[in-house]
Structure 1
Amino acid sequence: MGAEGKVDSQGKPLSLGYTKDNTGDNISTKNDSYSELTGLYWAWKNLDTDYIGLAHYRRLFGGSKRVGKDRVKWAITGTELDKLIENNDIILPRKRHYYIETLYSHYEHTHYANQLDETREVIADLYPDYLEMYDVVLNQRSGYMFNMVIMRRDLLDKYCSWLFSILFELEKRMGKQNLSKFQGRFYGRVSEIIFNVWLQYQIKQGNISKGRIQEVPIVYVEPVNWFKKGQAFLAAKFLHKRYKGSF
């Protein structure tokens, strides 16, 4: 991800051993603010396949077996995935629950709420039919997060067309802002939330069946410090201390 401009010690383009996202039709230069979405954009524009999926270097879709200490081997296998795809159009990580926070209030406490407020204005201008669902989702206490999805190609085409039109307009209005490197990745974070807007709207309209959506566990490649994460969550909620990094 974000391979634009990366070079080796001799100044030559860095070889990663796999196709980089600065090839073909790409937005690799936006990686510092769009995060993994530069990979999603590349796959959307450059792959010819029936399904397209996106996971992370830190988070993977989990399989049925968790044996040994190598967490990468806990990931879903190709055989397992083939069986899921037979009966599903969308595969997602299990919903994340915030319990004492709505999606809006959690974002407000950990990041900057004006990013979501401006996103609402963009949606009102570009996709007013989605505005009611936007308000519903932002008041929920759970959602599909992390920009992880495996989706039937035709559905992904519709989602990406919708998503990137919103983000590109949001970027015109907001730019990069004067934020830390961590907080500057907000276009990727906004997309985590508005994916739920798009999905729930499509379900409501009858374009996607709930019965064709499958949730699977998440595998964290590196152990998560849940105590530290919980402390940061509570500090954001009650002491208004925004997140300074990942956990």
Structure 2
Amino acid sequence: MLRGMKQIVIFGAKSIALGACLAVKKVCPEYEVSGFMVSSLSGNASCLCGLPVAEVDCFTDKNVCILIATPEDVQGSIETMLKGKGFQNIVCLDSEKESALMGKYFRSIGRFPALRNDIAEVYMAKFHRDKPLKNNYRIPDWVRPIQVGAALADKRIAETADDLGENISAKNVNYCELTALYWIWKNKLQEEKGAPYLGLFHYRRFLELTDDDLLHMKNENVDVVLPYPTVHEPDIREHHSRYIAESDWEAMLRALKELEPGYAGRFEEILRQPYLYNYNIVVAKREILKDYCKWLFPILERTEELSTPKGNERADRYIGYLGENLLTLFFMYHGNEWNIKHVGRKMLI
């Protein structure tokens, strides 16, 4: 929402501004609210939420990021006024952004539950060194950020982190977003109750799913939703030859033959076709996703042991790349027995 700015000033000093301040402090720890800006102190407090309230002419730093948190019908005139005074980094908290922000805030404090779907719970992997998005996007309330590699970072960028509970957060340098999938497996899929579908996105890569699509998935008894596959020539070996060292590929094949010989017998056939499920993003029924994780992670762990150098001696993301090929194998292996549907993959920029 704030285009990567770390310190912000909130324009306004009434209820909308106060709510925005509380919410940003609670659910957006990567940002720091330094104070409130108003056109005039007349009728406004001099301090709000423990922070100073000052008139616009008191702010000399024209590069400060300003979040306009006022009634929406006056935001345009306020933005014009601020630009006339030389401020350029301005974001208007319109009703859609405010609803999304306050929904996250009230959910985080356990108050005022929202009327929202209970069909899917999808986690969006975020890393503390991710580059800021250039554009603003509304993230559905069923998509929940999870910080990956949290065990390796000094700061928190999401309320949920992959170093909580049973985890392999410290392996993120090799597993990438798969440390979030492991966390989902060990900490969410073990629960008896919960949304019927769970899944994983990245902070830049989403499946193009709407609330209506989720209802359709439930009504049509869809088992799995995957992105349309990427196409490779002459076959998907073209992909792994670019991203995976041959010795690591051989280690993975050996692990697969040891642990899952039935799947290993089909792998060569699947490798000879041009379609690859890329990016490790998927939404599936709870039991299917659980079965996939129970299948996937022992293979990856054994691959680490067989790799040269071993997984704990390196940091080059190779396990994440291997995971894409194993996801392709697993879901194509079961393609005729499960109701698998496909949607577009949205790249956030």
d(CA) in 1 for partners of 2:218, 2:272: 31
Query: Among the aligned pairs, what percent are the same residue?
Result: 29
d(CA) in 1 for partners of 2:160, 2:198: 15
Higher Cα radius of gyration: 2
**Equivalent runs, 1:150-169 vs 2, <5 Å:** 150-169=283-302
d(CA) in 1 for partners of 2:158, 2:322: 31
Q: 1:2 aligns with which of 149, 153, 174?
A: 149
d(CA) in 2 for partners of 1:178, 1:157: 29
- Give the TM-score normalised by structure 1: 0.73
Cα contact 1:146–1:192 (8 A) shared by 2: yes
d(CA) in 1 for partners of 2:211, 2:293: 24
Summarize deviations over 1:49-77 as a string: whole Å, max 9, x none. 32211011111111xxxxxxxxxxxxx33
Summarize deviations over 1:131-166 as a string: whole Å, max 9, x none. 221111222211211111001111111111110010
Q: 2:206 aligns with which of 53, 56, 60?
A: 60
Higher relative contact order (CA 8 A, sep 6+): 1
Cα contact 1:44–1:52 (8 A) shared by 2: no
| Residue 118 (structure 1) shift | 1.6
Q: Which residue of 2 aligns with 1:239?
A: none
| Residue 219 (structure 1) shift | 0.6
Q: 2:326 aligns with which of 194, 203, 215?
A: 194
> Where do 5+ consecutive residues of structure 2 fail to align?
1-147
Q: Which residue of 2 aligns with 1:96?
A: 230
Amino acid at match of 1:221: L
Q: Which residue of 1 aligns with 2:341?
A: 214
Amino acid at match of 2:311: K
Count matched residues: 194
CA RMSD of aligned residues (A): 1.9
Q: Which residue of 2 aligns with 1:67?
A: none
Q: In proportion to residue count, which structure has more strand?
A: 2
Q: 1:106 to 1:178 in 2, by over 3 A?
A: farther
Cα contact 1:104–1:113 (8 A) shared by 2: no
d(CA) in 1 for partners of 2:305, 2:183: 21
Q: Which residue of 2 aligns with 1:203?
A: 335
> Where do 5+ consecutive residues of structure 1 fail to align?
8-13, 63-75, 223-247
Cα contact 2:205–2:347 (8 A) shared by 1: yes
| Residue 16 (structure 1) shift | 2.4
d(CA) in 1 for partners of 2:269, 2:334: 14
Amino acid at match of 1:185: R
Q: Which runs of 4+ in 1 moved over 3 A?
A: 176-179
Q: 1:110 to 1:203 in 2, by over 3 A?
A: closer
> 1:121 aligned to 2:254?
yes
Summarize deviations over 1:163-218 as a string: whole Å, max 9, x none. 00100000111123887x5xx101011110111211222235xxx33xx1110001
